[in-house]
């Protein structure tokens, strides 16, 4: 939201009152917070204190290396509830110091320093080095008169302005400096340019597809290449101007009388994400089976148990390993969604059908949303019990977009949440293993919530309550580490309930690329796992698009074949029409087998996401901070620390990508390349750039038919080029056995790989033949 007309003036009917000086500074009684009085005029005489706006600015620290700044106009006004900071330390951890020059609050390596007097100056330092500042005209109370020509409010549903001017009233904004060459990433799953500089971004969940500036997953957190992060602690609408209101600053504003933001220390982007997820919640561990290939009924296609069995039989006949079968919306009867009842016209024996799928060693996923159509018998049950969101006159809120006359489950009502969770438990009892929690973005603001929550806050926060309720029910039913969602909407904290997918994309290379940008932005926003519809959701992909997307999708954390109006079984595209190894079936088999062989490595990457909050799929900037060559890269990424992936976005197979400094080895061919180097290549459908980083020790598994096997059973340990010295690599057993470790000692002549006693394994130097271990040791020579 823009309030100014250029650098010097405010826009008409906009009254901006800026913090002009730190008039006085006080420590809270416990010494954990610094309180600053910041009048909106430099106080030269006692008369200047009259008829004056005073901003109270409070600095505190909820966790080491994190400093919160709260700006209050009227401290008695209603404040935003903020997000659930699950990792906050009671009482805070900051240390305050005040002298004649000003005051500081220090938390671990991070210090906030307020200079006494004018002009207003708040500086953030990490280990004594400045990282960002809040200078003159950076903090303001802004009053808008009716018709003030600021930017539009975000699009939404009933109760939200879709076009026009922002509502009159009070707003608070803050700005933080952007240094020379400083770039901003994150702010949720955004499908436009990965670097956010120059963008206006509204934090407001919307069902806008991947080809718009709207987002299903809005997260008011950003990360910069200067090695710090910022969270604006408001679930309601936040407007960001990233170098657009003031080109030297990031501005964020909210409606009301107060604003709070938190600064996270690094020094690396990974360190920032560790701190951020320690405070807002770490991703849950997901089951090993979820990493395998998911196949869907698709959305509006016709299907019954016979259709489903033909798909599963076809996959088996073609030796395409399948782990999960997904039932999309029409497992329930039309107009009834979501009533949790299988459509008896096509699924007369759901429990028997699901048991038969389990007998085929498949997991089952089922679609739901948080809406209930009025044709469903559950509508009257929920309405009578007070489980649906209501209008101010007491009537149930309803509309006809999506399901006719649908109502919205009120998850602020504990009884409604328990009721909804019981329905999930019933599904699990029938044989459902995973839930696709669709929608959750179209949340009205002209309603009354059971607990009295602010409707503006609930618009974004609803997604968190919805997904948390379903995830909790799955965990209770299946156990910790076995629950998994396929969620579309989210906000801060949503990373705790994996997995999320990228929403409705289209079947094109352009949409494939925008989908990747969305995933990279979400990863930079603290989300550990992410997926997308292989081939695109809307439309029917031509064979080339589908095959290129297969490679990309199977080199993502989670891999799902799903579409809108057409089936996504690989043989529906070009089976038998291509050169050997180039059909969609061949490509699907090759990359599914590859992913399953990589499971010992990938599973550890997932465990790191759960334990540290470092995402599974990593923007290049996370792994190579300080390298300006990677700052703008958004068509390649890393899976974990060691695997670089560059999807191919063209039918001919032309791709250009960058290998940073070091020795790289092609996983598929053992070719060695030395970076930094830009490479331009052409790949057939059975290939894509997939490189192993210098120093890696990659453990691959003995099976390529399933993701959930004992990774410690006869693994292959491959030692890639790296400096002489020692390293260790951990291998888990998701079937319940103990994890093991291999130690590697590199020397000029080769390497020695030592494993646990009694564990059979082979080892090799990249590019050489494998050597079978003897007595737990494999000696590798160049």
Which residues have a catalytic role annotated?
438, 441, 504
Q: Using an 8 Å Cβ cutoff, are 657 and 689 in contact?
A: yes
Task: Indicate the helix (H) or strand (E) that contains 464.
Answer: helix 455-478
Q: Which residues of 536-545 are buried (b: 16+ CB within 10 A; e: fewer)?
A: bbbbbbebbb
Question: What is the C-alpha separation between 326 and 432, in angstroms, rounded?
Answer: 9
Distance, CA of 416 to chain centre: 27
What 3-state DSSP class applies to 581?
coil
Interhelix angle 543-554/509-523, rounded to 10 degrees, is: 20
Question: What is the C-alpha separation between 244 and 263, in angstroms, rounded?
Answer: 21
What 3-state DSSP class applies to 250?
strand
Q: Using an 8 Å Cβ cutoff, are 365 and 436 in contact?
A: yes
What 3-state DSSP class applies to 497?
coil
Tokens standing for residue 516 = 């990747």
Question: What is the C-alpha separation between 521 and 300, in angstroms, rounded?
Answer: 30
Side-chain half-sphere exposure of 125, counting CA atoms within 13 A: 14
Q: How many CB atoms lie within 10 A of CB 123?
A: 18
Closest CA to 261 of 220, 225, 294: 220
Tokens standing for residue 43 = 């106080």
Side-chain half-sphere exposure of 286, counting CA atoms within 13 A: 29
Angle (nearest 5°) at CA 252 between 247 and 256:
140
Residues whose CB is less than 8 angstroms from the CB of residue 349 and which lie 6 or more positions away in sequence, other chains included? none
Q: Using an 8 Å Cβ cutoff, are 582 and 316 in contact?
A: no
Question: What is the C-alpha separation between 65 and 437, in angstroms, rounded?
Answer: 34
Question: What is the C-alpha separation between 159 and 456, in angstroms, rounded?
Answer: 9
Q: Fill in the DSSP letter of residue 762.
A: E
The answer, yes or no, to whether the previous bond of 340 is cis (omega within 30 of 0) is: no
Strand 34-39 versus strand 530-531 pairing type: unpaired
Q: From the CA atom positions of the chain, what is the Rg in Å?
A: 27
Strand 716-719 versus strand 762-765 pairing type: parallel
What 3-state DSSP class applies to 184?
strand
Q: Using an 8 Å Cβ cutoff, are 235 and 80 in contact?
A: yes
């Amino acid at each position: 939201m823009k309030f100014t007309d250029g650098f010097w003036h405010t826009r008409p009917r906009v009254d901006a009152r800026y913090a002009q000086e730190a008039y006085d500074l006080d420590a809270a009684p416990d010494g954990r917070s610094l309180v600053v009085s910041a009048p909106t005029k430099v106080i030269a005489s006692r008369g200047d204190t009259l008829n004056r706006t005073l901003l109270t600015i409070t600095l505190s620290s909820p966790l080491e290396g994190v400093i919160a700044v709260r700006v209050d106009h009227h401290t008695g006004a209603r404040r935003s509830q903020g997000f659930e900071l699950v990792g906050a330390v009671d009482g805070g951890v900051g240390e305050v110091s005040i002298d004649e020059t000003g005051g500081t609050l220090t938390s671990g390596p991070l210090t906030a320093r307020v200079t006494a007097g004018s002009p207003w100056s708040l500086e953030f330092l990490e280990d004594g080095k400045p990282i960002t500042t809040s200078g003159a005209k950076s903090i303001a109370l802004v009053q808008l008169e009716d018709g003030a020509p600021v930017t539009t409010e975000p699009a939404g549903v009933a109760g939200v302005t879709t076009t026009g001017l922002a509502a009159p009233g009070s707003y608070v904004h803050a700005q933080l400096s952007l240094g020379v060459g400083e770039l901003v990433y994150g702010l949720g799953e955004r499908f436009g340019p990965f670097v956010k500089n120059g963008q206006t971004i509204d934090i407001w969940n919307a069902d806008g597809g991947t080809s718009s500036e709207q987002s299903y997953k809005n997260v008011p957190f950003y990360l910069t290449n200067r090695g710090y992060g910022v969270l604006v602690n408001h679930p309601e609408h936040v407007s960001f101007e990233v170098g657009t209101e003031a080109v030297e600053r990031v501005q964020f504003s909210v409606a009301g009388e107060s604003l709070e933001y938190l600064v996270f220390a690094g020094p690396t982007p990974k360190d920032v994400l560790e701190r951020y997820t320690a405070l807002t919640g770490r991703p849950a561990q997901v089951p090993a089976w979820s990493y395998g290939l998911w196949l869907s009924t698709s959305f509006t296609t016709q299907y019954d148990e016979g259709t489903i069995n033909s798909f599963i039989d076809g996959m088996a006949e073609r030796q395409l390993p399948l782990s999960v079968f997904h039932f999309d919306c029409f497992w329930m009867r039309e107009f009834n969604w979501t009533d949790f009842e299988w459509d008896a016209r096509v699924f007369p024996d759901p429990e028997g059908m699901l048991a038969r799928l389990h007998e085929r060693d498949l997991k089952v996923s089922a679609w739901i949303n948080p809406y209930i159509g009025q044709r469903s018998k559950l509508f009257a049950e929920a309405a009578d019990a007070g489980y649906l969101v209501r209008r101010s006159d007491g009537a149930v809120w309803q509309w006809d977009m999506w399901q006719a006359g649908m109502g919205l489950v009120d998850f602020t009502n504990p009884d409604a949440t328990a009721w909804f969770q019981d329905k999930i438990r019933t599904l699990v009892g029938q044989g459902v293993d995973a839930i696709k929690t669709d929608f959750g973005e179209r949340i009205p603001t002209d309603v009354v919530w059971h607990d009295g929550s602010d409707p503006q806050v609930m618009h974004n926060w609803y997604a968190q309550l919805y997904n948390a309720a379903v995830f909790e029910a799955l965990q209770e039913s299946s156990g910790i580490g076995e629950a998994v969602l396929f969620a579309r909407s989210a906000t801060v904290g949503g990373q705790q309930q994996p997995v999320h997918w990228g929403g409705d994309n289209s079947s094109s290379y352009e949409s494939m690329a925008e989908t990747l940008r969305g995933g990279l932005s979400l990863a930079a926003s603290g989300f550990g796992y992410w997926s997308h519809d292989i081939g695109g959701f809307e439309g029917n992909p031509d064979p080339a698009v589908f095959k290129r997307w297969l490679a990309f999708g199977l080199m993502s954390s989670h891999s799902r074949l799903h579409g809108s109006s057409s089936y996504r079984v690989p043989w529906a595209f070009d089976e038998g029409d291509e050169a050997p190894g180039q059909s969609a079936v061949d490509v699907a088999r090759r990359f599914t087998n590859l992913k399953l062989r990589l499971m010992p490595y990938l599973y550890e990457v997932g465990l790191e996401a759960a334990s540290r909050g470092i995402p599974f799929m990593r923007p290049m900037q996370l792994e190579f901070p300080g390298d300006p060559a990677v700052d703008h890269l958004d068509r390649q990424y890393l899976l974990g620390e060691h695997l670089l992936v560059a999807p191919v976005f063209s039918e001919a197979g032309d791709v250009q990508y960058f290998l940073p400094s070091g020795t790289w080895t092609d996983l598929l061919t053992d070719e060695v390349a030395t970076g930094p180097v830009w490479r331009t290549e052409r790949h057939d459908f059975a290939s894509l750039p997939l490189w192993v980083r210098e120093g890696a020790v990659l453990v691959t598994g003995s099976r390529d038919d399933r993701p959930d096997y004992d990774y410690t059973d006869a693994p292959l340990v491959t030692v890639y080029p790296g400096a002489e010295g020692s390293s260790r690599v951990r291998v888990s057993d998701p079937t319940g056995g103990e994890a093991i470790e291999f130690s590697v000692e590199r020397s000029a002549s080769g390497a020695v790989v030592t494993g646990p006693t009694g564990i059979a394994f082979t080892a090799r130097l990249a590019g050489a033949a494998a050597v079978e271990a003897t007595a737990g040791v494999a000696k590798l020579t160049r």
